[in-house]
Structure formats: structure tokens, C-alpha cells
């Protein structure tokens, strides 16, 4: 069984800053379950100028009681592949879980573009696919859980991004008034 | 800054992240894609590859990366899903 999810939202921040915040987004107070994040590969395509990155993210999973029998180890590895095209001002990210795929596979694609109605804002289109191949009548419950969990996570991810974006805005304001202090205050993340 | 999955790589990772972040915001987004952090990335990756091997994540990653996440035109990628490894950890 497969479930689809689609959502469009926006940030009241410029595209440049939103894509920058994407790299800085861990750690943040809304992602305490993220234990580690590594860059596996990264290169700029010499022809198109597109930056391609592969990251591996380790999350500590939270499972409902009935799920604990299915999964002994709740550490979850996520692969994140992304492309940033500065010429077309488009960033596409795709994430999927590498572990526990037998129980549930979640694939999420996000596209960040300049907002069509306000060039100082950013539009984010999210598409997700949640698949479970479990048998014994658990599939429906797993997928319903998957959808709910995914929505919760989306809300938290959004809050995390908003938190980082606000910090970038504050740093920029600080830099305008006192450049030296701002440079010391800017703390780059993952 | 977030930690590396391999504890011993966290320091070099954060040095690299610092370099990348300034390159991304000050150069790349402004149209200059010339490399700036290659040496740090090389050192970081050297450490990271050992960790991935130790944690037996290298094969898991290699399998996952066989799927092209950004197919050029068509969006049909479900045809080959039967080749997905069905590993049990």
C-alpha cells in the first residue's frame, strides 16, 4: 500500500536565505532527535553550475508501543540528496529512510523556488510517498501512523527552518549595526 | 553545528561545515562556484569513510545511491523497485 501527501507552503524570507538555512538546520530546538549529519558527497556541475550534495542523517526514532516489537533498534538512517541551481533559483531535496524500509519507506521531495507572488519570499512544494509492505493486517495501522508521524515531522521541520531563518535575520540586522559582533555571533551548523 | 555520525570526525566536520557555509553564502549564491574547501572536505571524508565502514553503512549507502534521485525527464522510478535490497539488520 502506498499513500501520497502533497503540500505547498511559503517562507517570508528570500530564496537565498532559505536554501542557506537548509544547510544550517541541524541542530535546532525542534530536531532534538537528530544525532548526526554528514556530507557524503558534494560537487558543483561545471556545465550547469548546479551544486549536488548527498548527506547521511542519523535520527533516533520514536515509535508507538505496538511498533517496538517490529523494530528493535530505533536508530534511523536517512539519505538526503539535493540540487541547488543558483541560475534558476531552484533547490530540490529528496530524502528517504535507509533503515526499517521493510516496515515503512518514506520518500519526501521538496522544491524551493522564488515565490511567484513575492520575489522576497520562497515557495516550498512538498511531496511524499509512504509505503509499507508489512503483512498480518498491520499495514493500514503502520501507514496511518506513518502519515501522522510524517505530518508531525513536517510541522517540526518547518518550525526548525523558521527558527534558523529568524536567527539569520537577527544576525544580518546585527551585522548592519556592528559587523564584528555579528561575525562572532553567527554560528554555522550542519 | 551538528555532530558527525562518527564521533571522532565531528571536529573536522565542523571545520569543513564552517568553510562550506561561508563559501555557499558569500560565493556560490553570488555566482562564484570556484572551490574553496576541498582540502578540508578530503580530510573529513577520509575520517568519515572509516566510520561508515566500521558501522557497516557503506554497502547500505551504495545500494541507496544506485537509484538516481533526479531522473532527467520522466518521473517513473517504480519499475525497478524489486531490485531494492531486502536487508534485515
- From chain A residues 46-75, the ones with a CB under 8 A of any chain B CB are 49, 51, 54, 56, 58, 73
Q: B66 pLDDT band (50/70/90 cuts)?
A: confident
Residues of chain A with pLDDT below 70 are 61-72, 135-139, 143, 178-190
pLDDT band at residue B80 using 50, 70 and 90 as cut-offs: very low
| Cβ–Cβ contact B5 with A under 8 A | yes
pLDDT digits (tens, 9 = 90+) for A142-182: 767 777 778 888 899 999 999 999 999 999 888 888 655 54
Task: Inspect the interface and report whether the beta carbons of A44 and B61 lie closer than 8 Å.
Answer: no
How much is the average pLDDT of B71-79? 43
Average confidence score pLDDT of chain B? 81
pTM of the model: 0.83
Provide the pLDDT for residue A189: 53
Q: How confident is the model at residue B82 (pLDDT cuts 50, 70, 90)?
A: very low
Q: Does B11 touch chain A (CB under 8 A)?
A: no
Question: Are A26 and B2 in contact (CB < 8 Å)?
Answer: yes
- Confidence check: pLDDT of B86 > 60: no
Q: How many domains does chain A have?
A: 1
Residue A151 lies in a domain: yes
In A, which residues are within 8 Å of B33 by CB distance? 44, 49, 51
Question: B15 in contact with A at a CB cutoff of 8 Å?
Answer: no
User: What CATH number is associated with residue A12?
Assistant: 3.30.530.20
Query: Quick check: A114 contacting B, CB < 8 Å?
Result: no
Helices A139-177 and A15-24, axial angle in degrees (round to 10)? 110
Over range B54-80, report the average pLDDT. Answer: 67
- Residue A55 has φ and ψ, to the nearest 5°, of -125, 155
Q: Is residue A190 assigned to a domain?
A: no
Q: Does B31 touch chain A (CB under 8 A)?
A: yes
Domain hosting A124: range is 2-185
Is residue A133, in this structure, part of any structural domain at all? yes
Asked, for residue A59, whether it belongs to a domain, the answer is yes
**Does B17 contact A188 at a Cβ distance shorter than 8 Å?**
yes
- Cell 523494530, residue located: A71
Of A19, A36, A73, the CB nearest to B2: A36
Contacts of B3 (CB under 8 A, 6+ apart): A35, A36, A37, B10, B13
Q: Do residue B4 and residue A36 have CB atoms under 8 angstroms apart?
A: yes
Report chain A residues whose CB lies below 8 A from the CB of B16: 39
Nearest CA in chain B to A71: B89
Examine the pLDDT at B74 and tell me if it is beyond 60: no
DSSP string, A142-190: HHHHHHHHHHHHHHHHHHHHHHHHHHHHHHHHHHHH-HHHHHHH-----
Q: Do the chains contact at A189 and B89, CB–CB below 8 Å?
A: no
Of the candidates B2, B24, B61, the beta carbon closest to that of A37 is on B2
In this structure, what are the phi and psi dihedrals at residue B56, rounded to the nearest 5 degrees?
A: 55, 40
**Residue reference for cell 528517504:** A96
Q: Is residue A93 part of a domain?
A: yes
C-alpha span between A152 and A137 (Å, rounded): 24
Distance from CA of B70 to the nearest CA of A (A): 9
How many residue pairs from chains A and B have C-beta atoms closer than 8 A?
Answer: 91
pLDDT band at B88 (very low <50, low <70, confident <90, very high): very low
Amino acid at each position: 500500500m502506498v499513500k501520497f501527501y502533497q503540500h505547498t507552503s511559503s517562507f517570508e524570507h528570500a530564496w537565498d536565505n532559505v536554501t542557506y538555512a537548509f544547510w544550517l538546520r541541524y541542530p535546532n530546538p525542534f530536531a532534538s532527535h537528530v544525532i548526526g549529519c554528514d556530507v557524503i558527497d558534494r560537487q558543483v556541475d561545471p556545465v550547469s553550475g548546479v551544486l549536488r550534495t548527498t548527506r547521511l542523517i542519523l535520527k533516533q526514532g520514536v515509535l508507538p508501543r505496538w511498533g517496538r516489537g517490529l523494530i528493535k533498534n530505533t536508530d534511523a538512517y536517512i539519505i538526503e540528496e539535493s540540487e541547488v541551481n543558483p541560475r534558476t533559483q531552484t533547490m530540490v531535496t529528496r530524502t528517504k529512510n535507509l533503515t526499517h524500509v521493510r516496515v515503512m519507506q518514506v520518500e519526501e521531495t521538496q522544491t524551493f523556488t522564488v515565490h511567484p507572488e513575492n520575489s522576497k519570499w520562497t515557495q516550498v512544494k512538498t511531496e511524499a510517498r509512504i509505503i509499507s509492505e508489512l503483512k498480518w493486517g498491520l499495514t493500514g495501522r503502520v501507514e496511518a501512523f506513518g502519515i501522522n508521524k510524517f505530518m508531525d515531522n513536517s510541522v517540526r521541520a518547518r518550525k526548525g527552518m523558521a527558527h534558523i531563518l529568524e536567527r539569520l535575520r537577527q544576525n544580518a540586522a546585527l551585522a548592519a549595526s556592528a559587523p564584528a559582533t555579528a561575525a562572532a555571533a553567527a554560528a554555522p551548523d550542519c | 553545528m551538528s555532530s558527525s555520525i562518527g564521533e571522532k570526525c565531528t571536529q573536522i566536520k565542523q571545520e569543513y561545515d564552517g568553510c562550506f557555509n561561508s563559501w555557499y553564502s558569500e560565493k556560490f549564491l553570488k555566482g562564484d562556484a570556484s572551490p574553496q574547501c576541498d582540502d578540508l572536505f578530503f580530510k573529513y571524508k577520509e575520517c568519515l569513510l572509516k566510520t561508515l565502514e566500521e558501522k557497516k553503512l557503506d554497502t547500505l549507502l551504495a545500494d541507496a545511491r544506485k537509484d538516481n534521485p533526479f531522473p532527467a525527464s520522466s518521473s517513473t522510478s517504480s519499475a525497478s523497485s524489486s531490485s531494492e535490497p531486502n536487508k534485515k539488520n
